[in-house]
Amino acid sequence: MTARLRRPGRGRSAALRAGVPLVTMMLAAVGCGGPAVQAHTGHPARAAADPVPATSAPTCADRVYSGMTQAQRTGQLFMGGISATRPSTTDLRTLRDNHVGSVMLTGRGSAGTEATRKLVDGFRGQADTVSGRRVGLMVATDQEGGQVQVLSGPGFSPIPAALTQGTWPASTLRARAADWAAQLKAAGVDLNLAPVADVVPADLGTRNGPIGHHYREYGHTPDTVAVHSEAFAAGFAQAHVKTTLKHFPGLGRVIGNTDTTANVVDSVTTASDAYLTPFRSGIKAGSPFVMVSLATYTKIDAHHLAAFSPTVIRTLLRTQLGFKGVVISDDLGQAVAVRSFTPAQRAVDFLAAGGNLILTVKPSTVPAMAQAVSARMQKDAAFRADVADSVHRILAAKADAGLLSCG
């Protein structure tokens, strides 16, 4: 996400019922009255399984996908935001009812690793079950450092701003990042929505609203940012926590912050720009996730926000840079940059452009988004293929993170 600096605080078999106690505990922890929430498995009728090519053995992701209902598959396309301190019962139910497969801890949580782990373990119990096995939730957060560090307290180290991290030797940053990642791992977090791979020119500095204003850049040259964003990601990989390069194709040359400003435009960056170097090198190093920005890049595609641009996602990111992982959006829930689009349009346009995982920090937008995706699938074969591809990519990432059981 861009720099939304949040204020503190801001079927049904016996096997399926095995997950109920965790969810019940979670609802008790957030002060919920009323009936217990049960593990959700969707509509009874299964969607037709896509064929697995005869030339390759089915992967774990393939096997899980083939057993899912269509509602469960659609739910895997979403990452919904929930409070890192006190998740609302309404938000949890919305995510459960829509089979949402990933969550992002938001706000500011200062309770420490042990308390955060209890919180996470509680809502993991509402994950969908396929063929008697739970499809684990992917739990993410924003843990860059400086002003963007969601989780703190006992067990979490204070993380300096990226601009400070960029002054360290790469080996030092990698070692420190491995420690920070181990802390997230202990708290039950699978994915960090970092590092920032944006390059802010020195002559723009803090006038750059989303990055420079908050010292989120590792430096002012592509090479410096590439070396240090790679070191950060390598440290996290060492501790088995996934990372996300952001915000493709870069927010370092804009003035406005897409979280709080509409019509943010980069009129400089090209498809062969040196400022893409940190993304190019991070992808080559094996980055599993790339987040796409909500700005418009007039020299790449003047007609679409990057997150809605096939030119940005399919041509530049997939084809030219060779990215094979999961493309995640910047926040499509409440960012001002997308306010002129309905939630339904945001979801469909992102997936149609080649995106895979829809991030919305506002769970109440998920039902309209999911309904729009389902409606588009019914009448558009190419879109159905895009959705199938996206779900497979997301499930493959989950399998690699140890969140799928196919034994």
Burial 170-203 (b: 16+ CB within 10 A, else e): eeebbebbbebbbbbbbbbbbbbbbbbbbbbbee
At residue 133, the pLDDT reads: 87
Distance (Å, whole) CA 130 – CA 405 = 10
Q: What are phi and psi of 362, to 5 degrees?
A: -115, 90
- The whole-number pLDDT of residue 1 equals 62
Complete domains list, the chain, with CATH:
70-400 (3.20.20.300)
Spatial separation of the C-alpha atoms in residues 46 and 68, rounded to whole Å: 6
Tell me the C-alpha distance between 190 and 141, whole Å: 9
Indicate the burial class of 50 (C-beta count within 10 angstroms; 0-12, 13-18, 19 or more): middle
* CA distance linking residue 393 with residue 380, whole number of Å: 20
Closest to 191 measured CA to CA, from 50, 384, 394, 355: 394
Cβ-contact 46, 25 below 8 angstroms: no
- How far apart, in whole angstroms, are the C-alpha atoms of residue 75 and residue 378? 16
**pLDDT of the residue at 152:** 98
Classify 344 as helix, strand or coil.
helix
At 149 the pLDDT is 98
pLDDT score recorded for residue 280 = 98
Tokens of 74: 């659609």
Q: What whole-number distance in Å separates Cα of residue 161 and Cα of residue 205? A: 14
pLDDT at 2 (0 to 100) = 53
Q: Is 126 left (phi over 0), alpha (psi -120 to 50) or beta?
A: alpha
In this prediction, residue 30 carries a pLDDT of: 34
Q: Strand, helix or coil at 104?
A: strand
Q: What is the pLDDT, as a whole number, of residue 57?
A: 80
DSSP string computed for 262-300: SS-EESS--TT-GGGHHHHHHHHTT-SEEEEPSSEETTT
- The DSSP call for residue 133 is E
Question: Which two three-digit tokens encode residue 113?
Answer: 């690793």
**In whole angstroms, what separates CA 273 from the centre of its chain?**
25
**Is the peptide bond prior to 288 cis by the omega test (within 30 degrees of 0)?**
no
Give kind and range of the element (H or E) at residue 22.
Answer: helix 20-29
> What is the pairing mode between strands 148-149 and 143-145?
antiparallel
Closest by CA position to 327, among listed 317, 319, 335: 317
139: helix, coil or strand? strand
Task: Give how far the C-alpha of residue 360 lies from the chain's centroid of Cα atoms, to the nearest Å.
Answer: 9
SS3 257: coil
Query: Which amino acid, 264?
Result: V
Which phi-psi region, left, alpha or beta, contains residue 107 (left: φ > 0; alpha: ψ -120 to 50)? Answer: left
SS3 at position 103: strand
Angle, alpha carbons 261-267-273 (nearest 5°) = 120
Instruction: Find out whether 52 and 77 touch, Cβ atoms under 8 Å.
Output: no
Task: Give, for all 407 residues of the chain, the pLDDT tens digit.
Answer: 654 444 333 333 333 333 333 333 333 333 333 323 333 333 333 344 444 444 568 899 999 999 999 999 999 999 999 999 999 999 999 999 999 999 999 999 999 999 999 999 999 988 999 988 889 999 999 999 999 999 999 999 999 999 999 999 999 999 999 999 999 999 999 999 999 999 999 999 999 999 999 999 999 999 999 999 999 999 999 999 999 999 999 999 999 999 999 999 999 999 999 999 999 999 999 999 999 999 999 999 999 999 999 999 999 999 999 999 999 999 999 999 999 999 999 999 999 999 999 999 999 999 999 999 999 999 999 999 999 999 999 999 999 999 998 86
pLDDT of 12 reads 33
How remote is the C-alpha of 203 from its chain's centroid?
31
